Amino acid sequence: MGQQRVLYGYWRSSAAYRVRIALNLKGLPYEHKAVHLLNHGGEQHQPDFQALNPQELVPCLVDDGQVFTQSMAIMEYLDETHPEPPLLPSVPAGRARVRALSQVISCDLHPLGNLRVLQYLTAQLGADDAGKGVWSRHWISLGLQALEAMLAGNVATGRFCHGDSPGMADACLVPQVYNAVRWKLPMDDYPTINRIHEACQELQAFQKAAPEAQPDAPTAA
Amino acid sequence: MGQQRVLYGYWRSSAAYRVRIALNLKGLPYEHKAVHLLNHGGEQHQPDFQALNPQELVPCLVDDGQVFTQSMAIMEYLDETHPEPPLLPSVPAGRARVRALSQVISCDLHPLGNLRVLQYLTAQLGADDAGKGVWSRHWISLGLQALEAMLAGNVATGRFCHGDSPGMADACLVPQVYNAVRWKLPMDDYPTINRIHEACQELQAFQKAAPEAQPDAPTAA
C-alpha cells in the first residue's frame, strides 16, 4: 500500500489554501477532509480534530501517519521530503527573503483577519460587519503595502515573488489576495502583487487549489 | 575587516528578543541599534528605518550589507550560514515540529498582542487599558494552552521544546512567557512551558538576551 496523505482543511481558509497550492506544485496527491469552521459550533473544536491539532486550526496534514500543523512548517516539510520542484531557492539569502515575504503574510497580516479574531471583535468589542470590514482592510492594506515595496524594489523579484518559478511566497500571496478581494479592498495600489497574482493564476496548481474548486465549497445559487 | 552584523531591535520587542537569543546561542557577536517603538511617534516609522524594512517593524538584521527581516526567517538564515550549534533538528519531521511550535507563537499568538494592534484597539475600538489586558490575556492563554498540549503530549519534548538542546522554538517561547508575565497572565496551567522556560533561563545565551539586559532598557527607578 502506498503512502497515505490527508489534508484537513476548509475551502475558504487561507492557510489551507497555501498548502493545497504547495501540494499541487509538487504534484503530490492527497485526500481532502473538510473541517467546517462554522457548522456545529466549528468542527475544528470537536474532540476528534482537537486530538490531531490542539490549536484547533486548519490546515493539518497527516502524512503516512505523522501529523503536521502550521502551513509554513508543512510547506517546508514538503520541500525537504520532495525537493522537486523547489518551493525555496538554494542560496541562504534567497531562502531568507522568500521566508520573510511568506511571514509578512502568515505572521503579521493573515492572523489578524482570522475567523476567531473577527468572532472576538463581535462578541467582546461589539464590532458590527462594517467595523470588521474596516479592521480587515486596515491590516490587509498595511501588509500589502509593505509586500509591494519589498517586491517592487528588489531585483530578485521575477515573474513570481522570487525569480521565475513559483514558490512558498507565491503560495502565501495568492490566498491573501483572494482574502483582500473578499473584503473589497481596492487593489490598484499593488501593481507588482497584481502582476504576480495573475502569473500564478495561469498555473493549474493554483487553479486547482482555489477555494471555489474544493469539494466543500458551497455550490453557486 | 571582519564581517559586520547589526541588529536593529527594541529591548521589549518579543521578535527582536528571539533573534538575540539565536545570535547568542550561535555565539555570533553583533552591534545593537535601538529603534524606539514609542518615542518620536515610533522610530520604526522614520524614513531611514522604513528604507531598511518597509514593514516598519523590528527586528531587522544587517549582515555584511544584506538586510534580513522577520524573526523566524532571520533565525533560519543564521542556522543555514552558521550551522553549529543547530537551532533545528536534522530530520524533516523534527524540523517541521520545531517550526510549527515556533509558528504557533510567531504567527497565531504574538502578532495579536503587538504594539500596533493594541494602538488600533485604543484608537479605533475605544479599548481602555483593562480591555487591552483582557484581549492580550485571551490570545496568550489560548496560544499557551495549545503549546502546552503540543509539548506535554509528545515524546520529542525533552529538557527543551525539542530534545535536550535549546533551539528555535525555545527562542520563541521565552519571549512569549516574558510577555505573558508582563500582562499578568496566571502561569499555573502550563507546567511543561514553565519547566522549559526555567531550563532556558539557566543559560547565558538567554540571560544576555533578556529585555532588561539591553542597552536601551530604561534603568530601574
Q: Which residues pair with A62 in a beta bridge?
A: A6, A67
Q: Which residues pair with B66 in a beta bridge?
A: B63
In a domain, B75, yes or no: yes
Query: Mind listing the pLDDT tens digit for each residue in A181-191?
Result: 999 999 999 99
Q: What is the pLDDT of residue B221?
A: 53
In a domain, A212, yes or no: no
Cis peptide bond prior to B92, omega within 30° of 0: no
Domain match, B10 and B58 both? yes
> Which residues of chain A, if any, have pLDDT below 50?
1
Q: What is the pLDDT of residue A220?
A: 66
User: For A124-147, b where at least 16 C-beta lie within 10 A, e where not — what string?
Assistant: ebebeeebbeebbbebbbbbbbbb
For residue A120, which residues of chain B lie inside 8 Å, CB to CB? 135, 138
Domain match, B80 and B98 both? no
> What whole-number distance in Å separates Cα of residue B13 and Cα of residue A51?
33
Domain match, A14 and A120 both? no
Q: What are phi and psi of A107, to 5 degrees?
A: -100, -45
A198: which 3 cell numbers? Answer: 495573475
A21: which 3 cell numbers? Answer: 497550492
Domain of B158 in residue numbering reads as 92-207
Q: What is the pLDDT of residue B1?
A: 45
Write the residue in B74, B103, B124 that is nearest to A73 by C-beta.
B103
Residues A186, A194 contacting (CB under 8 angstroms): no
The CATH number of the domain where A161 resides is what? 1.20.1050.10
Chain-centroid distance of CA B66 in Å reads 21
Of B197, B150, B154, the residue nearest B172 (C-alpha): B197
Q: What is the pLDDT of residue B115?
A: 85
CA distance B81 to chain A (A): 7
| B22 CB within 8 Å of a chain A CB | no
In a domain, A219, yes or no: no
In a domain, A158, yes or no: yes
Window 55-84 of A: residues touching B by CB (8 A cutoff) are 55-57, 66, 68-70, 72-74, 76-77, 80-81
Reported ipTM = 0.95
Residue owning grid cell 532556558: B200
Domain match, A101 and A199 both? yes
Domain match, A114 and A189 both? yes
Q: What is the pLDDT of residue A23?
A: 98
Task: Choose one of A34, A61, A85: the last residue of a domain.
Answer: A85
Residues B174, B206 contacting (CB under 8 angstroms): yes
A150: which 3 cell numbers? Answer: 519589498
The CATH number of the domain where A76 resides is what? 3.40.30.10
Pairs across A and B, CB distance < 8 A: 120
Domain match, B69 and B125 both? no
Query: Mind listing the pLDDT tens digit for each residue in A118-162?
Result: 989 888 888 889 989 999 999 999 999 999 999 998 999 999 999
Residues B156, B97 contacting (CB under 8 angstroms): yes
Task: Choose one of A24, A52, A85: the last residue of a domain.
Answer: A85
In a domain, B201, yes or no: yes
B85: which 3 cell numbers? Answer: 550549534
Of A111, A119, A120, A116, the residue nearest A172 (C-alpha): A111
Write the residue in A92, A100, A112 that is nearest to B69 by C-beta.
A100
- Look up residue A123 and give its amino acid: A
Q: What is the pLDDT of residue B90?
A: 97
User: In tens digits, what is the pLDDT along chain B, a chain of 221 residues?
Assistant: 456 899 999 999 999 999 999 999 999 999 999 988 888 788 888 888 888 888 888 899 999 899 999 999 999 999 999 999 999 999 999 999 999 999 999 998 998 988 889 989 888 888 889 989 999 999 999 999 999 999 998 999 999 999 999 999 999 999 999 999 999 999 999 999 999 999 999 999 999 999 999 999 998 65
Residues B17, B206 contacting (CB under 8 angstroms): no
CA distance A206 to chain B (A): 23
Domain match, B104 and B41 both? no
A120: which 3 cell numbers? Answer: 472576538
In a domain, B216, yes or no: no
For residue B153, which residues of chain A lie inside 8 Å, CB to CB? 54
Q: What is the pLDDT of residue A3?
A: 65
Give the strands of the sheet with B5-9, arranged side by side. B31-34, B5-9, B60-63, B66-69
In a domain, B133, yes or no: yes
Domain match, A122 and A62 both? no
Window 184-203 of B: residues touching A by CB (8 A cutoff) are none
In a domain, A25, yes or no: yes
Q: What is the pLDDT of residue A1?
A: 45
Count of alpha carbons within 13 angstroms of residue A117, beta-carbon side? 23
Write the residue in B68, B69, B125 that is nearest to A125 by C-beta.
B125
> What whole-number distance in Å separates Cα of residue A26 and Cα of residue B62?
33
Domain count within chain B: 2
Of B90, B145, B137, the residue nearest B118 (C-alpha): B137
CA distance A73 to chain B (A): 5
Domain match, A104 and A194 both? yes
Task: Choose one of A85, A118, A146: the last residue of a domain.
Answer: A85
Of B33, B15, B156, B160, the residue nearest B85 (C-alpha): B160
Based on its alpha-carbon atoms, the radius of gyration of chain B, rounded to whole angstroms, reads 17
